[in-house]
Structure 1
């Protein structure tokens, strides 16, 4: 180990490079004068309350100094999400709960004439932002765990490789602390992104996927914020959003394969993400100990995400198509059911633009995990569902959800009318096959001659064993040994006449 004096009070006499100083600041509890929690909190979008920050960063240090079964500290992510969502988050009042319950019940009745999917028995709820975090964080974990684990492993590996050999031996038992550092930073940033998203969503399915399994809920505080500037009565906005929430609930409850289809597609895409190690190594090598928020900024800007592969582009296109189909169907039947609301068209257009562009928190989340859950082709999908209704009726349109193989593709969104014609032709072909199979299973086809009738059309050779003569000198295939006309040889085993 080098004998060069250290520039701090640590007993380790190894010269401190920027990375080791940062580690000492963040993890060792010494040299904290170079660490600015407020700056890190600002970069992560966390509250600037000193007491909250002190508690949070003590949790970070405690986590890093202990072993963990997973690379990402989900408890830290949960705490960060709760604290990020807690600002200006009033509790739901009894009056708000009653208003949400009435809106969702009315929405269920209004939807009945416009979809073949039955109403659910789910009781609607009014949530605060903190309650939304609690109810949805399990799904966020499922969606982000593959990429979160990859990032945590890559960061800890790169940072460990940057340490001089002398420091690696000096760190000794701190190896596990090094391995958990990337997971701590990712968990902190993920929790902040989810907490910020809690301030933007208006329901449990606002981003197109059911974040809370078999739940139907609205967030009164966010509905009020959504209506600001629209000059539309809040009651109309609440009812329109209740129609969307109830429509999503019907779709995901009555089409049970759909939730797994969407979540599985997202998980597959996330597992395909690989981390750009060279960029992480550059970041670890150039970290400025006086600027500890640099890694948080790097996470929020997605610096670890390399360019997508062609395979990932194809997977993403399929996912975006599925999201567009969900949102397009909900958009279509919601607008039909809301025809009596004077401001339905204005609210619909606002939601369409909001879903197409995404809010700040959604962008932050997308940068963090390399995936933005936006239905880029919502309008085309809504037009396709409208076309299917005209061609096939409500029942025929909703029957498309019977199986994932029936869903339109991205190319079908370009030709809505053509998809309906192609689907009808396919249905007709399937019906013919089904009818033929049913007939066969019921006892065969009546127009075929019985196997023992003895009738042979067009002079075909008689295959009966009765020994009767065959016309035109054909050889008898029977076993009786009778003569053939015109002196043809018999093939039987009986005696000749």
Structure 2
């Protein structure tokens, strides 16, 4: 994992080591209790599969999509899985940057920074995220002996046990209900990708298009990062706030073409996250007795963040946009289901052409008009 394209742009082993070393320790828990948590999460994942399939009706009766493993992991396991995913997704971009590094003036700058520094930076980012993620459907990383995936080389459901225990204690909610509630959300993501075979390739294609548009000249990259840092720090000259003033670092360094791609990706991710929230709350009352209390407390936690530092990092990394995706996406799904029913909503999974645009996420009636009323006229 230490090199991609010759000498390598990122020391991936160092990224794993850095993240593992810096990540916060998990909650205090006995070995016996840890085993019970892992066993219960696996049971809940299995139960959630049946509940989600029955509620969403995405998988026709009598059919069985390709199975994907459920892995209950600690924070280090989540880090390893995500480094493997980043490595796979970023491979074409890093190979292109490696080629440019050797033959340009900016290459000397990037060479001076070095793969080890980049590995440390990636590790620091992952150490921040690793203590916050409750679960994830990991889509792109190849299968390994330590981290198995579906037969086609991608797809596994990760449940991060220490983070789930930490949050259920922080919220002071029923731990058994909370674990099933989380499993319902993450199982919805697994159902989305297993029931819609084209979804993984579509997302990967959009991400690769985004990366293909990246400025690979290191001098340009550094200049765009400098401008972004000034904007976020309030360092722009007075009267030059412009439209970038409220953007995250991730947004500011984009080209116009990347912003168009990101708008499409944002719409898809809003759909996926909002759908998962809608399903977990729709199934919840039947199988999670304290779902109302859990939802209220969890929403409050999402909104406020853990600290000022946490809020600043969320803004810098664009994680506030992630919170909007949950809210806006859930509203889109709710409005569409109320108007045309669950089967009518499921037309969204027909093809990339029936996915909502970013504008349609905000105005679900426009999606209904485009996909339903025009098809029926």
Q: TM-score, normalised to structure 2's length?
A: 0.72
* 2:211 alignment partner, one of 270, 285, 296: 270
| SS in structure 2 at match of 1:205 | strand
With the length of structure 1 as denominator, give the TM-score of the two structures: 0.56
Task: Give, in angstroms, the shift of residue 405 of structure 1.
Answer: 0.3
Aligned to 1:136: 82
Q: Decide whether aligned partners of structure 1 residues 186 and 146 sit closer, same or farther in structure 2, where only a CA change above 3 A counts.
A: farther
**Of the candidates 292, 304, 308, which is equivalent to residue 345 of structure 1?**
292
Map of 1:302-317 to 2, 5 A cutoff?
A: 307-317=253-263
Q: Are the counterparts in 2 of residues 328 and 385 from structure 1 also a CA contact under 8 Å?
A: yes
Check if 1:70 corresponds to 2:26. no
Query: Contact 1:129–1:219 at 8 Å: present in 2 too?
Result: yes
Q: Does the aligned pair in 2 maintain the 1:279–1:303 contact within 8 Å?
A: no
- Whether contact under 8 Å (2:45, 2:183) holds in the other structure is yes
Query: Using the alignment, how far apart are the partners of 2:253 and 2:140 within structure 1?
Result: 29
1:385 corresponding residue in structure 2: 333
Kept after mapping to 2: 8 A contact 1:117/1:398: yes
Deviation, structure 1 residue 109: 2.6
Measured after TM superposition, the shift of residue 219 of structure 1 is 1.6
Deviation at 1:96, TM superposition (A): 2.2
Alignment match, 1:493: none
Structure 1 match to 2:242 = none
Task: Quote the Cα distance in structure 1 between the aligned partners of 2:372 and 2:252.
Answer: 43
Show the 5 A alignment for 1:4-19.
Answer: none
Tell which structure's C-alpha radius of gyration is larger: 1
- Of the three residues 351, 370, 374, the one matched with 2:322 is 374
SS of 1:229's partner is helix
Higher share in helix? 2
Structure 1: where are the runs of 5+ without partners?
A: 1-62, 162-177, 285-301, 430-497
Q: Which has the higher contact order (CA 8 A, sep 6+)?
A: 2
Q: Is the alpha carbon distance of 1:210 and 1:320 closer, same or farther for their aligned partners in structure 2, counting shifts above 3 Å?
A: same
User: Using a 3 Å threshold, how does the CA distance of structure 1 residues 144 and 350 change in structure 2: closer, same or farther?
Assistant: farther
Describe the SS at the equivalent of 2:137: coil
Asked if structure 2 preserves the Cα contact closer than 8 Å seen for 1:81 and 1:133, the reply is: yes
Q: Residue 195 of structure 1 corresponds to which residue in structure 2?
A: 127
1:280–1:304 contact (8 Å) kept in structure 2: no
Q: Within 5 Å, give how 1:389-408 maps onto structure 2.
A: 389-408=337-356
Contact 2:213–2:255 (8 Å) recurs in 1: no
> 2:274·2:326 contact (CA, 8 Å) conserved in 1?
yes
The answer on whether the counterparts of 2:9 and 2:118 sit within 8 Å (CA) in structure 1 is no
Instruction: Indicate the residue corresponding to 1:413 in structure 2.
Output: 361
Work out the number of aligned pairs and report it.
329
Report the Cα offset of residue 428 of structure 1: 1.9
Mapped partners of 2:73, 2:129: distance in 1: 14
Quote the Cα distance in structure 1 between the aligned partners of 2:312 and 2:94.
17
Q: How big is each residue's C-alpha offset from its partner over 1:178-233, in whole Å with a ceiling of 9 and x where there is no partner?
A: 83643221111102212332221111239xx6767321231221001122332211
The verdict on how the C-alpha distance between 1:130 and 1:157 changes in structure 2, with shifts beyond 3 A counting, is farther
1:186 to 102, 108, 118: 118
For structure 2, list consecutive stretches of 5 or more residues without a partner in the other structure.
Answer: 142-148, 227-247
| Distance of 1:315 and 1:304 partners within structure 2 | 13
Counterparts of 1:200 and 1:344, CA distance in 2: 21
**1:255 shift after superposition:** 1.0
Q: 1:396 to 1:148 in 2, by over 3 A?
A: same
For residues 408-434 of structure 1, the C-alpha deviation after alignment (integer angstroms, 9 at most, x for no partner) is 1122223223432432223225xxxxx
TM-aligned CA deviation for residue 268 of structure 1: 2.6
